[in-house]
């Protein structure tokens, strides 16, 4: 079975672990979000691609969910001693090596997709990891200008990591997405897929950004295969992080039903909500999306594998 998964960082990576356990023989292609990418200290950092790569490759800091295990921060401290920031983005010494290799290869002319493949040769994530695009896309968030009357756009990482999403987001813009082309292999993987899954990743700044690359949404809708998603919202709040802030920016309530309707029946065939949200199943089905309530907390591999198995079962059900 060929499965395509549109993944952000932590939510996507943890779900993928469960999927690989539930479907060990599946051929899995991950289309990763690159809207979070940022240039720091002259280096190209791809947080979501790296979270997937490290998680599936056994290098992730388990408790934190991002960055490397057994990390040290000597380089960051030395940079700070020179007064060079930003100090709010946690880049460890081991992690720095990844960004150095990536930046060096990009500088030599390799596209991000080739660089990602090269990095994965070390990590052997067990899936084919593709960036959504080789072109530069940067998600920006529009906030009230703290120093003036107007509004200003800041990089998504500054909003999320430095400001901890503590101020309202008025708009979320994947800058460059409208001009971006899907990376080599992305449209082909979707066309050849037997099923497309949306993990419980952020619907706006992770899955939404991937869908903003022209051609991707259309390819999924036209593939004629089941598309099943899992809700990142449980009991009217994100399980982790601040997805409610960016959902508000696009006018979507933080409920499992509202997120399903935001994707819409033109894209989604099936949707899994947590058992605490069983009350919305009818509402989602009335919107033309097959819906089931099951436990959706990725507490351990067994629970996550069960979620993935349910997603595949729902896909078979809608296939009819």
Residues that bind ligand GDP (CB under 6 A): 7-12, 48, 51, 200-202, 206, 230-232, 234, 238-241, 243, 296-298
| Burial class of residue 180 in the structure, from the number of CB atoms within 10 Å of its CB (0-12 exposed, 13-18 middle, 19+ buried) | buried
- Whether 244 and 254 have beta carbons less than 8 Å apart is answered as yes
Q: From the list ligand GDP, Ca ion, none, pick the one residue 297 interacts with, judged by a Cβ distance below 5 to 8 Å according to partner type.
A: ligand GDP
| Burial class of residue 214 in the structure, from the number of CB atoms within 10 Å of its CB (0-12 exposed, 13-18 middle, 19+ buried) | middle
CB of 202 to Ca ion, least distance (A): 7
Helix, strand, coil percentages for the chain (3-state, nearest 5): 40, 20, 40
Nearer to ligand GDP, 234 or 257 (CB): 234
Q: Is 199 in the site for Ca ion (CB under 5 A)?
A: no
Q: Is 8 in the site for Ca ion (CB under 5 A)?
A: yes
Q: From the list Ca ion, ligand GDP, none, pick the one residue 243 interacts with, judged by a Cβ distance below 5 to 8 Å according to partner type.
A: ligand GDP
Could you give the string, one character per residue 21-60, with x where binding to Ca ion holds by CB under 5 A and - elsewhere? ---------------x-----------x------------
CB of 70 to ligand GDP, least distance (A): 20
Nearer to ligand GDP, 9 or 105 (CB): 9
C-alpha to C-alpha distance for 263 and 245, rounded to whole angstroms: 17
C-alpha to C-alpha distance for 132 and 137, rounded to whole angstroms: 10
**Number of neighbours of residue 62 by Cβ within 10 angstroms:** 7
Q: From the list Ca ion, ligand GDP, none, pick the one residue 209 interacts with, judged by a Cβ distance below 5 to 8 Å according to partner type.
A: none
The phi and psi torsions of 178 (rounded to 5 degrees) equal -65, -20
CB of 234 to ligand GDP, least distance (A): 5
CB of 147 to ligand GDP, least distance (A): 28
C-alpha to C-alpha distance for 136 and 26, rounded to whole angstroms: 31
Binding interface with Ca ion (CB under 5 A): 8-9, 36, 48
């Amino acid at each position: 079975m060929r499965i395509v998964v549109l993944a952000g960082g932590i939510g996507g990576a943890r779900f993928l672990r469960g999927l690989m356990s539930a479907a060990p023989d599946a051929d899995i292609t991950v289309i990763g979000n690159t809207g979070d990418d940022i240039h720091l200290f002259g280096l190209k950092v791809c947080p979501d691609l790296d979270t997937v790569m490290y998680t599936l490759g056994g290098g992730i800091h388990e408790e934190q969910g991002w960055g490397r295990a057994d990390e040290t921060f000597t380089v960051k401290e030395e940079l700070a001693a020179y007064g060079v920031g930003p100090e709010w983005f946690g880049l460890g010494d081991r992690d720095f090596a990844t960004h150095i290799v990536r930046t060096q290869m990009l500088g030599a002319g390799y596209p991000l997709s080739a660089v990602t493949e090269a990095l994965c040769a070390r990590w052997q994530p067990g899936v084919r990891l593709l960036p959504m695009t080789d072109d530069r896309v940067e998600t920006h968030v529009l906030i009230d200008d703290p120093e003036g009357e107007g509004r200003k756009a800041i990089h998504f990482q500054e909003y999320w990591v430095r400001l901890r999403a503590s101020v309202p987001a008025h708009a979320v813009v994947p800058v460059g997405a409208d001009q971006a082309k899907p990376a080599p292999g992305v449209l082909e993987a979707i066309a050849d897929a037997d099923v497309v899954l949306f993990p419980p990743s952020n619907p706006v700044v992770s899955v939404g950004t991937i869908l903003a690359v022209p051609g991707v949404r259309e390819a999924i809708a036209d593939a004629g295969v089941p598309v099943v998603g899992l809700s990142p919202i449980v009991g009217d709040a994100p399980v982790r992080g601040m997805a409610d802030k960016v959902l508000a920016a696009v006018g979507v309530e933080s409920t499992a039903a509202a997120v399903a309707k935001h994707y819409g029946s033109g894209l989604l065939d099936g949707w899994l909500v947590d058992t605490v949200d069983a009350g919305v199943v009818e509402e989602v089905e009335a919107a033309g999306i097959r819906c089931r309530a099951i436990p959706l907390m990725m507490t351990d591999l067994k629970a996550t594998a069960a979620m993935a198995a349910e997603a595949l079962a729902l896909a078979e059900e809608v296939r009819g």
